[in-house]
Amino acid sequence: EDKVVQSPLSLVVHEGDTVTLNCSYEVTNFRSLLWYKQEKKAPTFLFMLTSSGIEKKSGRLSSILDKKELFSILNITATQTGDSAVYLCASLNFGNEKLTFGTGTRLTIIP
Amino acid sequence: DTAVSQTPKYLVTQMGNDKSIKCEQNLGHDTMYWYKQDSKKFLKIMFSYNNKELIINETVPNRFSPKSPDKAHLNLHINSLELGDSAVYFCASRQTGQVNYEQYFGPGTRLTVT
């Protein structure tokens, strides 16, 4: 069965800190790894990573995939209170293109 | 305009009842999904439909029956509701063939079974 594990489960830091969120996967027919941010309601898409070693960046957020070691990290620099959310990673497989989500990391930024 | 909408937003009902949740997307996408998110925020796929055809059917009790009258709608009917069905149910949609595989999620329906 496909498995996606995120760590830590929760993280509390002060505004301005840099955080690294981890996502490891064991998935058959792996195609890509996606990151989502979930605040109060629906998850919103952040990144999709398909190739190893190529960093994707959006403002203070960046992410990279290692297909040899089967993990991805999401970095957030100079954190702000608006970054407080649950961050979800998900593996996408070929074939039926199913997303398998991890358990999520709850990030809390203290002002 | 809301891209993916769900009704109702909240649903409180008693064990044993039958209820439906509706989902509509106005994005012209050909694939729609139902996910269940439990109290620990674990998001798990239940079903997906592509052009009204069932593609993914995870290990879900057969009390749950999805119905897709057309490719813009995917409804979820639940029979004989149980306490463990309490969760937030998300509908999502996407267009197959797009390079950037982004699923657009609806706002969720919080189901509470008492």
Q: Which domains does chain B have, with CATH numbers?
A: 4-96+104-113 (2.60.40.10)
- Which of B44, B48, B101 is facing A101, going by the closest CB pair? B44
Tell me, what DSSP letter sits at residue B103? P
Average pLDDT, chain A: 94
Nearest CA in chain A to B6: A42
CB B33 within 8 A of CB B48: yes
- The count of structural domains within chain A is 1
Is there a contact between A97 and B101 if contact means CB atoms under 8 Å apart?
A: yes
Write down the pLDDT at residue B92.
95
- Which of A41, A86, A88 is facing B107, going by the closest CB pair? A41
Write down the pLDDT at residue A40.
83
Neighbours of A66 (CB within 10 A): 14
CATH number of A13's domain: 2.60.40.10
Å between A46 CA and nearest CA of chain B: 9
CA distances from A33 to A60, B9, B34, B93 (A): 19, 29, 20, 18
**Token pair of B27 as six digits:** 């994005």
Identify the domain containing residue A20 by its residue range: 3-110
Confidence of residue B1 (pLDDT cuts 50, 70, 90): low
E strands in chain A:
3-7, 10-14, 19-26, 30-38, 43-49, 56-58, 61-66, 71-76, 85-93, 99-101, 105-110
Q: Hey, is the C-beta of A14 within 8 angstroms of any chain B C-beta?
A: no
- Which of B55, B102, B105 is facing A42, going by the closest CB pair? B105
At B2-45, the pLDDT tens digits run 699 999 999 999 999 999 999 999 999 999 999 999 988 889 99
Is there a contact between B42 and A103 if contact means CB atoms under 8 Å apart?
A: yes
Confidence of residue A44 (pLDDT cuts 50, 70, 90): very high
Is there a contact between B43 and A101 if contact means CB atoms under 8 Å apart?
A: yes
Measured between beta carbons, which residues in chain B are less than 8 angstroms from residue A90? 43
